[in-house]
Amino acid sequence: MEEKKDIVICRCEDITLDMIRECIRNGADNLEEIKRTLRCGMGPCQGTTCMPLIRKELARYLGVSIDEIEMPTKRPPLLVTKFETILEGVEGEE
């Protein structure tokens, strides 16, 4: 049975299973490195859907328990910006 390679794992960034496997084969051995290389987990869902799937794939490839794979650090925005501030800047431009 032929395995599909175009299975989308990260819907926010349109990252496929094949892309993740290639990244791992090219030396990425932790989720943080995969995240930085492919942008998985950087979309609107912040990895809620894709990171557990990628974690499972990485553990399988490395032959370790899923518990041995650390989840990447979530980083909130540095500064909170109110929409009013953004709109003021847009309305004031000419």
- What's the rounded Cα separation, in Å, for the pair 34 and 30? 7
3-state secondary structure 23-78: HHHCCCCCHHHHHHHHCCCCCCCCCCCHHHHHHHHHHHHHCCCHHHCCCCCCCCCC
Q: pLDDT value at position 63?
A: 96
Q: pLDDT value at position 83?
A: 78
pLDDT digits (tens, 9 = 90+) for 47-89: 889 999 999 999 999 999 999 999 987 776 666 777 787 787 7
Within 8 A by CB and 6+ apart from 66, the residues are 55, 56, 59
Domain 8-92: CATH class, spelled out: mainly alpha
Q: What is the mean pLDDT of residues 4-19?
A: 89
The per-residue pLDDT of the chain, averaged, comes to 86
The ranges assigned to domains in the chain are 8-92
- What's the rounded Cα separation, in Å, for the pair 88 and 58? 45
- Predicted structure pTM score: 0.72
